[in-house]
Structures are given as structure tokens and as C-alpha cells.
């Protein structure tokens, strides 16, 4: 069993996302430490990229701030090494990034450096299932999970994607890009039922649009985990170097809601 799968061993998993280097890498490092203390079960680290096509305005702007600060992939690798070896962070972590980041760096070298730094896998939202083999084979050789995504537009492909999934299935809650939403009306539970029928051993976590404890509790009723990005990135934009404390409080409130303690 991979480290990523173990994130779902203790009940419903809360999976926060953060853009590395927003507002700076030292703050990002402190945020990750606080996330683990607050109960995050798995953490997505976004590597800054100039054209993050799956992201809405909030995370797009975070990418621009991080890039303006000069953050590179090598800087992020070094931060992960420090988190693992100096801070003692043990929570599973995956990179959320884009194919061009790996291509420009050299995909073999990027995957090898990710493993050496202490990462557990990748989410590549711009790589469709039919084209994932060139990354997936390298990830499997390294013992890292390439997380598959399913969406409301791919209901006829859910079974195939689920059957080949590793780590967990990222269930996209709604059409469009990332960002908080007041309500989510797509049939996520139906999509998860199809996936579970094909691959009952693979956890399903729902992301895109979730921001409130009420929404987290709603999706935790039928999903194995909840993923939140934009709401956390907003806290980074609002509080900058003081964000770790606020993000910790936010995660605790989301975890409590998912456990039915709100």
C-alpha cells in the first residue's frame, strides 16, 4: 500500500492545497507544518506555473505572485527536503502541477528529484487518461503514484480510469476551473458509485469548489475525502506571513465538520 492510500486509513481524509512560494517559501514551509498539526491527511503542493489551465483566478494569482518572487522547481524540492528531514513532516504529499513543468525540467529528472526529496506522487490535471502512460510508467518505476482524475463530463470513462487508478481518485465536482462555489449540483455520488463498483479499493476524494464546513460535511457523507484549494489560497493572499495560524484553524473546522462535530 502506498503512503497516499494510507492517508485514508483513519476515516474521512482532508486534503488541502497550497501554492508553493505564496507569499514566500519560508511561509509555505510553516503552513505545511501547521497543516499536519491541524490534521491534514494528505497535502497537495502546487508548483508555480505561468499557465495553470485548471485554475481559477485565486490560484492563478497565487502562481503569479510566487513566480514574481523567483520560485523555481529546485527551490520547491529543497523546501520539501527541509520539511521531511529537518521539520519531521510525515504526512503524505503530492505535487499538483502541469506536464510542461516536467517536460521543461526533464521528466525523468523531475520524478527522480521528487522521490529523493520525499514526495509521494503527482496530480497532472492537463494530462488526459489516454496520454498518461509516458508519465505513469516512470512514476511506477520510482514507486510514486500518478493520481487519476474523473469528472462529470467523463461518466462513460469512469470505469476505465478507476480500474487503472493508484493512490486515490480525484473526483472533480463541477465543470470549469478551480474556485469556491456557493453550491455544487452535479451527481458526484453517482460518479463515485460507478468508480467504486469498478475499483472498490481505491479511495475517492472530491475537489473543486468546496470551501465551507457545511460543504465538506455534505461530500464526506459519500466520498472518502475532501480536497480544498482556493479557500486556503485566499487565506494566504489575505494574511501573508501570518497565514499559517489562520489556515490551521480553518483545517480544524473542516475536519470537525467532516467528523460530524460542528
pLDDT tens figures, 56-82: 789 999 999 999 999 999 999 999 999
Residues of the chain with pLDDT under 50: 176-183, 262
pLDDT of residue 2: 78
The answer to whether residue 132 is domain-embedded is yes
- Rounded to the nearest 5 percent, the helix, strand and coil shares of the chain are 50, 15, 35
Distance CA 206, CA 107 (A): 27
The answer to whether residue 215 is domain-embedded is yes
pTM for the model stands at 0.93
CATH number of the domain bearing residue 130: 3.20.20.70
pLDDT of residue 156: 77
pLDDT of residue 186: 65
Give the Cα-Cα-Cα angle 59, 13, 127 (nearest 5 degrees). Answer: 50
The answer to whether residue 37 is domain-embedded is yes
The answer to whether residue 240 is domain-embedded is yes
Domain tally, the chain? 1
Three-state secondary structure call for residue 186: coil
The answer to whether residue 199 is domain-embedded is no
Give the number of other Cβ atoms within 10 Å of residue 98's Cβ: 22
pLDDT of residue 52: 67
pLDDT of residue 100: 93
Residue 258: burial class (beta carbons within 10 Å; 0-12, 13-18, 19+): buried
The answer to whether residue 194 is domain-embedded is no
pLDDT of residue 135: 96
pLDDT of residue 181: 43
**Torsion sign (Cα): 76, 206, 247, 181:** positive
The answer to whether residue 39 is domain-embedded is yes
Task: Report pLDDT digits (tens) over 37-61.
Answer: 999 999 999 999 888 666 778 999 9
The answer to whether residue 137 is domain-embedded is yes
pLDDT of residue 249: 98
Segments forming the whole domain that contains residue 106: 12-148+210-255
DSSP tag of 48: P
pLDDT of residue 153: 77
CB 224 within 8 A of CB 10: no
Beta bridge partners of 13: 225
Amino acid at each position: 500500500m502506498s503512503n497516499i492510500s494510507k492517508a485514508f486509513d483513519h476515516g474521512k481524509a482532508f486534503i488541502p492545497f497550497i501554492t508553493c512560494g505564496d507569499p514566500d517559501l519560508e511561509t509555505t514551509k510553516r503552513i505545511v507544518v501547521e497543516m499536519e498539526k491541524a490534521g491534514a491527511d494528505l497535502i497537495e503542493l502546487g508548483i508555480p506555473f505561468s499557465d495553470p489551465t485548471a485554475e481559477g483566478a485565486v490560484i492563478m494569482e497565487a502562481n503569479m505572485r510566487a513566480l514574481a518572487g523567483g520560485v523555481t522547481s529546485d527551490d520547491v524540492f529543497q523546501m520539501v527536503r527541509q520539511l521531511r528531514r529537518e521539520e519531521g513532516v510525515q504526512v503524505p504529499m503530492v505535487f499538483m502541477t502541469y506536464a510542461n513543468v516536467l517536460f521543461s525540467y526533464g521528466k525523468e529528472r523531475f520524478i527522480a528529484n521528487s522521490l529523493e526529496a520525499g514526495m509521494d506522487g503527482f496530480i497532472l490535471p492537463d494530462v488526459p487518461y489516454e496520454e498518461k502512460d509516458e508519465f505513469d510508467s516512470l512514476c511506477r518505476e520510482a514507486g510514486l503514484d500518478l493520481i487519476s482524475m474523473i469528472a462529470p463530463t467523463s461518466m462513460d470513462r469512469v470505469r476505465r480510469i478507476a480500474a487503472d487508478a493508484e493512490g486515490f481518485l480525484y473526483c472533480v465536482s463541477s465543470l470549469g476551473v478551480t474556485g469556491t462555489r456557493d453550491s455544487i449540483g452535479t451527481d458526484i455520488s453517482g460518479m463515485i458509485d460507478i468508480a467504486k463498483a469498478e475499483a472498490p479499493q481505491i479511495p475517492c476524494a472530491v475537489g473543486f469548489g468546496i470551501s465551507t464546513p457545511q460543504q465538506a460535511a455534505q461530500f464526506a457523507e459519500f466520498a472518502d475525502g475532501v480536497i480544498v484549494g482556493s479557500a486556503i489560497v485566499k487565506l494566504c493572499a489575505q494574511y501573508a506571513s501570518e497565514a499559517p495560524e489562520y489556515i490551521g484553524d480553518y483545517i480544524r473546522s473542516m475536519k470537525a465538520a467532516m467528523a460530524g462535530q460542528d
